Amino acid sequence: MGEVVAAALVLGLDVHGLAVARALADAGVATYALDANPKIPGAATNRVRQIFRVAELSGEGLIASLVELRARLPQDREIVLMPINDRQVETIARHLDRLVALYRISWADRAETIVKLQRKDLLERLSLDRGLAYPRSQIVGADTPADFAAGFRFPVILKPVRPLSRFKTLLAADRQALEGLLRECAADLPVLCQEYIEGDDTAIYFGVLMLDRGRVLHGMTGRKLKSFPLARGQATVCETVDEPEVLRLTEQFFDGMGLSGPVSLETKRDTRGRHWTIEPTIGRTDFWVDVCIRAGFNLPLMEYELAAGLPVTPPAPQTPCVWYDTERDALAYAELCWREKTLRPRGKRQAFPYFGSGDWRPVLRATLQSCGRIAAGVAKRARLQSLFRPSPAP
């Protein structure tokens, strides 16, 4: 990449943040990170020059930490911020005036657009205006009439309007179930109520783009093979696929917005083959970015280069890949191997979160922690069984 003129600060070292940090460091970028928990597996990586412990990874606490940390980071080079979740993106966008003189951010000149795109109450209009299909929806608040769902086709899915709320999705099979779920999530109102598009995990696709002031530098597509909760949650297994229609829809959705940096669009294909908009991701890479990186599309590096004002490195030729979130679903790989009767499911390269060339400490820590959780569970069950075991007769 040549002489590095800026460093990068990754805002967390979970599975996602670790993938970002490795992708940057392996390309020669001086990489730093922060996290609230020094015991997570990602904090054991040897790819980060220094990890700063902070109290909060979002909200006002994050902003205060970023302002304070700038004096402890190299003063002879600029620092590119690499957020890894929606709440961080929202926080940075709303406090940009305090950060723009301290850090480089790929989408800094489009912060208002970023905040707008995060609002699920605007997503229906944005999709329809761009010619994309969007399921019938209603924003539900505390004062929404009780009969708002009259005419809705069940099942319906509930999604939080605010980033990183206490739940990701809830599914209601009928009107009674919907009313119960709305009572349960009263503290999270407003929420989005939407007609559910039938289909399993393999019907959920994603298109990923790297943009430079609206111009597409590169794109790729993939789909989920498994998620949690099933068919409506975060991907635990996904693969790269060649799906031109999804790429076209993704470009169509973001056309004319003038954004820079990584963006993606998740769609769901119904039984008739029509793709429906689920949600966009903006201002950051997705949790499953590692499937793109392993396939040859180094999104974090390109985002860093755009923010730093460097020439953007073209992606390597794409290598078909399957990625497993073994932290959330430890048996995902074994299950797919068993189902397909091969150690190379889908006939593609297999990729796992903590495995990295020359960086074994995260996988060792993850393994030890997993064994510890299993042992603790076994011990707990043994104690419970002993409590209910009949006493021997006198």
| Mean pLDDT on 346-351 | 97
pLDDT of residue 233: 72
207 with 347, same domain: the answer is yes
pTM, entire model: 0.90
Same domain, 187 and 281: no
- Whether 229 and 182 map to the same domain: the answer is no
Claim to verify: residue 220 and residue 178 sit in the same structural domain: no
- pLDDT (tens digit per residue) in 194-217: 899 988 999 999 999 999 999 999
Same domain assignment for residues 108 and 163: no
The answer to whether position 97 is within a domain reads yes
Is 24 a residue whose pLDDT tops 70?
yes
| Domain membership flag for residue 210 | yes
Q: Look at residue 164 and tell me whether its pLDDT is greater than 70.
A: no
Around Cβ 331, how many Cβ atoms within 10 Å? 11
Residues 76 and 167 in one domain: no
221 plus 344 within the same structural domain: yes
Q: Do 265 and 238 fall within a single domain? A: yes
Inside any domain, residue 57: yes
Strands (E), 250-335: 261-269, 275-282, 321-324
CB-based burial, 308-320: b 16+ in 10 Å, e otherwise: bebeeeebeeeeb
CATH code of the domain containing 341: 3.30.470.20
Residue 372 lies in a domain: no
For residue 186 the two structure tokens come to: 């009263």
Does the pLDDT value for residue 48 go beyond 80? Answer: yes
**Which CATH number do you get for residue 52?**
3.40.50.20
Q: Counting runs of H as helices and runs of E as strands, what totals does the chain give?
A: 12, 15
What CA–CA distances, in Å, run from 208 to 84, 298, 310? 15, 11, 21
Beta carbons within 8 Å of 124's beta carbon, 6+ residues apart: 134, 137
Task: Please tell me whether residues 208 and 164 are part of one structural domain.
Answer: no
Range of the domain at 16: 6-117
Residue 386 lies in a domain: no
Q: Domain total for the chain?
A: 3
Q: Which of residues 84, 117, 150 is at a domain's end?
A: 117
> pLDDT for 213-225, tens place per residue?
999 999 999 999 9
What is the pLDDT averaged over residues 145-151?
82
Kindly tell me the sign of the dihedral angle through the C-alpha atoms of 43, 45, 48, 50.
Answer: positive
Q: Region 317-328: what's the mean pLDDT?
A: 94
pLDDT at 394 over 70: no
pLDDT confidence of residue 36: 96
Q: Clarify whether residues 108 and 209 are in a common domain.
A: no
Stronger pLDDT, 383 or 163, i.e. the higher one: 383
Share of residues in the chain with pLDDT > 70 (%):
95
Judge if 37 and 112 occupy the same domain: yes
Mean pLDDT computed over 183-201: 88
Domain end call among 335, 351, 367: 351
Question: Could you tell me if 47 and 109 lie in one domain?
Answer: yes
Q: Does residue 1 carry a pLDDT above 60?
A: no
Contacts of 370 (CB under 8 A, 6+ apart): 330
In a domain, 80, yes or no: yes
Residue 384 inside a domain? The answer is no
3 pLDDT exceeds 60?
Answer: no
pLDDT of 189 over the 70 cut: yes
Q: Is residue 388 part of a domain?
A: no
